[in-house]
């Protein structure tokens, strides 16, 4: 294999990884803005935790070889969609839908696919919202659309999925039948916990978060009224009618 070809492959894979890292950064920025907006408007943050990952060039190459696709940036972008991933953990089930809707409704986010494993769980009990989105990454050579996989789930769903992953990893995918049954039962218990906690939250706070006044800037009503009166006096003093009266 010519050295020039190997160097080009290495350069292409590093570029692909960099593009996906930038795309993850873009999604994380959007999520951070949503968190701050909810805190300011509702004094409530539906997002408990945010995590992300990007496949290494070696992992990308292994998947390219396994799938038998051409090791070119174009082929990789078209056929491999899990290079970049963002996982959002929410407090309650309703929050997962609210956050995903807020994120995917943005004009620069192109939704490729959404799978609702909360409404339609997998046979083993797995639950989560999966969205495949395309985000523009602006490089010096121009914008590049990059695919990112976004997962949104509750704390209970995330805990269950983490345990399930560790078990399947330990048994290399061949999990004993009794453990599979126990995992499915645990998923049902996690669902009951989610439902009950959301019922308790609704009893206390209502179905929808109410907008609240934000006084975090230290501007109380008296200060705002004084600013308003001062602005009106300045406007009245400089208006044409006021000058005409003075003349």
- Residues annotated as catalytic are 149
Beta partners for 150?
86, 131
Strand, coil or helix: 48: strand
Which string of DSSP letters, residue by residue, matches 63-119? HHHHHT--SSHHHHHHH---SEEEEEEESSHHHHHHHHHHHHTSTT-EEEEEEETTT
Q: 145: closest CA among 135, 153, 154?
A: 135
For helices 177-205 and 155-170, angle between their N-to-C axes, nearest 10 degrees: 170
Cβ(51)–Cβ(3) below 8 Å: no
């Amino acid at each position: 294999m010519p050295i020039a070809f190997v160097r080009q492959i290495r350069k292409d894979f590093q570029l692909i990884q960099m593009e996906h890292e930038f795309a993850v950064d873009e999604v994380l920025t959007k999520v951070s803005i949503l968190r701050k907006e909810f805190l300011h408007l509702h004094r409530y943050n539906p997002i408990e935790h945010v995590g992300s990952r990007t496949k290494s060039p070696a992992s990308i190459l292994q998947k390219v070889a396994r799938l038998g696709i051409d090791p070119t940036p174009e082929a990789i972008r078209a056929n491999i969609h899990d290079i970049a991933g963002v996982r959002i953990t929410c407090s309650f089930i309703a929050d997962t839908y609210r956050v995903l809707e807020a994120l995917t409704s943005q004009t620069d986010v192109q939704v490729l696919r959404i799978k609702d494993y909360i409404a339609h769980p997998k046979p083993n009990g797995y639950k989560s919202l999966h969205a495949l989105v395309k985000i523009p990454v602006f490089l010096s050579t121009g914008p590049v659309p990059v695919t990112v996989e976004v997962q949104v789930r509750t704390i209970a769903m995330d805990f269950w999925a983490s345990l399930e992953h560790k078990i399947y990893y330990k048994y290399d995918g061949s999990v004993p039948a009794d453990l599979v049954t126990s995992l499915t039962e645990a998923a049902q218990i996690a669902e009951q916990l989610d439902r009950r906690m959301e019922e308790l939250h609704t009893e206390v706070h209502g179905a929808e978060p109410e907008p609240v006044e934000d006084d975090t800037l230290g501007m109380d009503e008296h200060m705002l009224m004084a600013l308003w009166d001062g602005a009106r006096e300045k406007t009245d003093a400089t208006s044409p009618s006021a000058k005409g009266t003075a003349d």
